[in-house]
């Protein structure tokens, strides 16, 4: 919400492509904040699943005959409940990525319009500080590709984490969820560069 409030604190003289790109940049920021909150919620649910799964694996190895005991059935029910929570988080993450795809569609529309207005090389004077309109599209594509890949990983973890055969694999899934390998620091820096260029962050 922070970037959006900064953008609207005083009336802006920006119009057309510049206005749309600046709004898109704020939306990228807000969607990333939303994703980060969902990632925290998902990690909490995934950690509960992993802890329950490790406990079940331990119980199975120590007393195989107890697999149908009331305690085991209760554990299975609780595990299923946590999996539903994690499913809900991943579904919300998919909605975030869908909104990011819409931002990309808007950006492509801006580029197509400017190609008609100014020719294939685009406008000669940058909309803000130094970036061409195409560079905004390139930055947006990097962000979208990263979050698409990370969503696929989250969906894989969702499908596998409650069915892992070993405790070690449970911990690998949990670590992958937490550290988000497809959204490295340089991806977040790309967003910061976008915010700097559009004036959401002071230079």
Kindly indicate the confidence band of residue 67, based on its pLDDT and cuts at 50, 70 and 90: very low
pLDDT at 165: 78
Give residue limits of the domains in the chain. 17-58+71-198
Poorest-confidence range of 1-5, 166-170, 189-193?
Answer: 1-5
The total of other beta-carbon atoms located within 10 Å of residue 165's CB is 9
Task: Return the HEC string of the chain.
Answer: CHHHHHHCCCCCCCCHHHHHHHHHHHHHHHHHHHHHHHHHHHHHHHHHHHHHHHHHHHHHHHCHHHHHCHHHHHHHHHHHHHHHHHHHHHHHHHHHHHHHHHHHHHHHHHHHHHHHHHCCCCCCCCCCCCCCHHHHHHHHHHHHHHHHHHHHHHHHHHHHHHHCCCHHHHHHHHHHHHHCCCCCHHHHHHHHHHHHHCCCCCC
The answer to whether residue 11 scores a pLDDT higher than 60 is: no
Residue reference for tokens 């799964």: 53
Mean pLDDT on 182-196: 95
Kindly indicate the confidence band of residue 58, based on its pLDDT and cuts at 50, 70 and 90: confident
CA angle 118, 120, 122 (to 5 degrees): 45
The answer to whether residue 42 scores a pLDDT higher than 80 is: yes
Mean pLDDT on 15-19: 85
Kindly indicate the confidence band of residue 27, based on its pLDDT and cuts at 50, 70 and 90: very high
State percent of the chain over pLDDT 70.
85
Q: What is the pLDDT of residues 76-109, one digit of tens each?
A: 788 899 999 999 999 999 999 999 999 999 999 9
Separation between Cα atoms, residue 165 and residue 176, nearest integer Å: 17
Instruction: Report the mean per-residue pLDDT for the chain.
Output: 87
pLDDT at 203: 73
């Amino acid at each position: 919400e922070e970037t959006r409030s900064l953008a609207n604190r005083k009336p802006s003289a920006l119009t057309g492509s510049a206005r749309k790109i600046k709004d898109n940049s704020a939306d990228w920021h807000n969607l990333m904040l939303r994703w980060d909150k969902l990632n925290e919620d998902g990690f909490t649910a995934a950690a509960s699943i992993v802890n329950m799964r490790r406990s079940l694996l331990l119980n199975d190895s120590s007393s195989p005959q107890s697999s149908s005991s009331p305690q085991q059935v209760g554990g299975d029910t609780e595990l299923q409940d946590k999996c539903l929570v994690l499913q809900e988080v991943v579904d919300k993450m998919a909605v975030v990525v869908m909104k990011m795809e819409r931002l990309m569609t808007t950006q492509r529309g801006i580029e197509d319009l400017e190609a008609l207005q100014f020719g294939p090389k685009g406008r000669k004077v940058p909309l803000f500080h130094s970036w061409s309109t195409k560079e905004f599209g390139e930055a947006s594509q990097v962000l979208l590709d990263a979050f698409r890949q990370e969503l696929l990983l989250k969906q894989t973890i969702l499908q596998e984490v409650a069915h892992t055969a070993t405790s070690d694999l449970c911990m690998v899934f949990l670590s992958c969820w937490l550290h988000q390998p497809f959204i490295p620091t340089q991806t977040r820096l790309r967003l910061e560069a976008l915010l700097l260029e559009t004036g959401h962050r002071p230079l």
